[in-house]
Structure 1
Amino acid sequence: MKTVKTLIAVVAGIACSAALANPKTTTVDFSGNAYGWEGMQAANGAGGTKIDDVISPTKALHTTMENQILIFGSKDANFTGNYGTSKSVTISLDVFSEHVNYFNFGETTRPLIVELRDFDTPPPGLNYSSVWYYLGDVDASKPLQHFSVTIADTKSKGLPAGWKGYGAMTEDLQSELPSDRTFKNVLASVDQMVFSTAMPGVVSDFVYFDVALDNITISAVPEPSETMMLGAGLGLLALVARRRKRAA
């Protein structure tokens, strides 16, 4: 009996560890749980962000306002935590655009980035360090756009192709990671996921935004060793249960 209890405790510990692994595969379609996703509100009260289906076929996170940038973010546990517990992570979303209007000059575009922020060890004078990736341009001439990026190696110390850092500046005033941070250790402590038109180092003019985000998805592939350990533990439990049943 003691052996069985010990085995149950070990398997339960493995299962608990797997359950606590972050991030978790999740899709937010704003028909129910928004998982902490929210957007900016206009300082002057003219426009803001709410969940509706005005420019999208179903409910989405919709912003209308005049501003230089848009920022959408979540600190929900499904999108944050230690990305290193996953072998790879894919982040994707759909963007509906009615207007990105530069006043008398007509429609324009704005860059969209995904940014993974770590608030735990902020550089001097800043709130966080981060890694970010340029997904493409939000373009109202394309009412529906799908963007995605896959982090193939969450334990890479160097920045993978296309990824950049924030928290320090190069001599030519480009953003970079502080010297004591790596891609790996930022991913090990993600406190917030952000989608934004605020590309570090780029200053934008005011435009009128009428943009909605939907189907925000994070797909996390667990480490094979973790899956094998859990499977082996459950298999041992099943074997013990069968033997006990025969003995009875």
Structure 2
Amino acid sequence: MATPRCFVVSCAIASMAIHHAVFETAARAQTAAVTFDAGAEGWVGPSGSGGATTIPTTGGNPGANMRTIFNDFGITFSNSANAAFTGDYTTAASVKISIDIRVENLSFTGTQVSRPFLVELRDTTNPPAGYPWKSVWFLFGSVSLANSSAWRHFSVTFDPNSTTLPAGWGGYGAENAAGAPQLPAGVTFRDVLKGIDSMAFTTLQPGYFFGFTDHTMRIDNVSVTRVLPVIPADLNGDGAVNALDLAVLLSSWGACPPKGACAADLDGNGVIDARDLAALLSNWTV
């Protein structure tokens, strides 16, 4: 069968689509990372009478980093200004959150101590009565000068569409009969993840209280990776099935090459033909 001409979309669009196409069927991952080499990018640390947070250009993992010297019950690094770390997480099939941390001092009345370190995803829209937000949080573990004097990496991967709390996660916004923190009645893990207003890394674990503690800590390489669901016939991986994907299919018309990927062969029969065209059109989005 002869290869059809560019009769639906222009040859220019076809050329652009081919250039950007990812010729394999795979989940699409979108990663946002802050190394502090370009500044805070929305991240803030504690400041005020207890101390200050700065961004040194050296001492990170590597290079720039965010460093705080602060005396308080606990410390929190948060971001509510950078859309890459907030918003609707439920559009992803899975999410991975990562951070590097280093402890230079963590002492209470002059004695080195350990403190919990966790990530908290906060929804500040219409908070429950008596609470600043509702949230879900994951405890990475404890940090101290003894176990985190060198850079230490933490990460967690989770399904944002889970209606129950995944293993290791807790909720905040209400209390159970024993006084332990939990999500408000009728609110699920997915409900919170649908509208995140702030991501926070903190030593303040819900349900626990600590005395005034001296903190000297650094963070670096904060990232969130959202793995988006595979969309059938999205041949260029842009999250939609449209004219660009049609251009890829038409330009690949005919038998698949003997080696390499053949993403436009949607029915897997080794030939890109009318059946693949029909499959693409049936998944058309925009």
Could you say which TM-score interval applies, normalised by the shorter chain? 0.7 to 0.9
Deviation at 1:149, TM superposition (A): 0.7
Structure 1 residues 239 and 161, CA gap change in structure 2 (3 angstroms):
closer
Give the AA of the match of 1:235.
D
The equivalent of 2:154 in structure 1 is 147
The equivalent of 2:34 in structure 1 is 28
2:111 equivalent to 1:101: no
The equivalent of 2:166 in structure 1 is 160
Q: How far apart, CA to CA, are the structure 1 residues paired with 2:51 and 2:38? A: 23
2:134 equivalent to 1:124: no
Deviation at 1:224, TM superposition (A): 1.2
Contact kept, 8 Å, 2:40 with 2:55, in 1: the verdict is: no
User: 3-state DSSP class of the match of 1:225?
Assistant: coil
User: 3-state DSSP class of the match of 1:186?
Assistant: helix
Q: How far apart, CA to CA, are the structure 2 residues paired with 1:118 and 1:69? A: 21
**Alignment match of 1:133 (pick from 118, 131, 138):** 138
Contact kept, 8 Å, 1:4 with 1:240, in 2: the verdict is: no
User: Does 184-193 or 33-42 show the bigger shift?
Assistant: 33-42
**Alignment match of 1:236 (pick from 242, 246, 263):** 246
Contact kept, 8 Å, 1:55 with 1:96, in 2: the verdict is: no
The equivalent of 2:56 in structure 1 is 52
Contact kept, 8 Å, 1:24 with 1:78, in 2: the verdict is: no
2:73 equivalent to 1:73: no
The equivalent of 2:207 in structure 1 is 201
Deviation at 1:237, TM superposition (A): 2.7
Contact kept, 8 Å, 1:157 with 1:182, in 2: the verdict is: yes
User: C-alpha offsets along residues 124-174 of structure 1, whole Å, 9 cap, x if unaligned?
Assistant: 1222100001011121123121111111x2111000001010000011110
Q: Percent identity?
A: 35
The equivalent of 2:68 in structure 1 is 63
Give the AA of the match of 1:149.
V
2:193 equivalent to 1:187: yes
Q: How far apart, CA to CA, are the structure 1 residues paired with 2:104 and 2:51? A: 14
Q: How far apart, CA to CA, are the structure 1 residues paired with 2:166 and 2:9? A: 46
Give the AA of the match of 1:80.
T
The equivalent of 2:16 in structure 1 is none
Contact kept, 8 Å, 2:37 with 2:57, in 1: the verdict is: no
The equivalent of 1:225 in structure 2 is 231
The equivalent of 2:117 in structure 1 is 112
Contact kept, 8 Å, 1:28 with 1:35, in 2: the verdict is: yes
Runs of 4+ with >6 A deviation: none
Which structure has more helix as a fraction of its residues? 1
Q: How far apart, CA to CA, are the structure 2 residues paired with 1:67 and 1:158? A: 33
- Length-normalised TM-score, structure 2: 0.71
Contact kept, 8 Å, 2:174 with 2:182, in 1: the verdict is: yes
Structure 1 residues 177 and 236, CA gap change in structure 2 (3 angstroms):
same
User: 3-state DSSP class of the match of 1:214?
Assistant: strand
Structure 1 residues 132 and 228, CA gap change in structure 2 (3 angstroms):
same
Uncovered stretches (5+) of structure 1, i.e. residues with no partner: 9-22, 244-248
User: 3-state DSSP class of the match of 1:131?
Assistant: strand
- Length-normalised TM-score, structure 1: 0.82
Deviation at 1:236, TM superposition (A): 0.2
Deviation at 1:225, TM superposition (A): 2.3
Q: How far apart, CA to CA, are the structure 2 residues paired with 1:230 and 1:196? A: 39
Deviation at 1:60, TM superposition (A): 0.8
Give the AA of the match of 2:85.
F
Q: How far apart, CA to CA, are the structure 1 residues paired with 2:249 and 2:234? A: 16
Uncovered stretches (5+) of structure 2, i.e. residues with no partner: 1-5, 14-28, 254-286
Which structure has more strand as a fraction of its residues? 1
User: 3-state DSSP class of the match of 1:78?
Assistant: helix
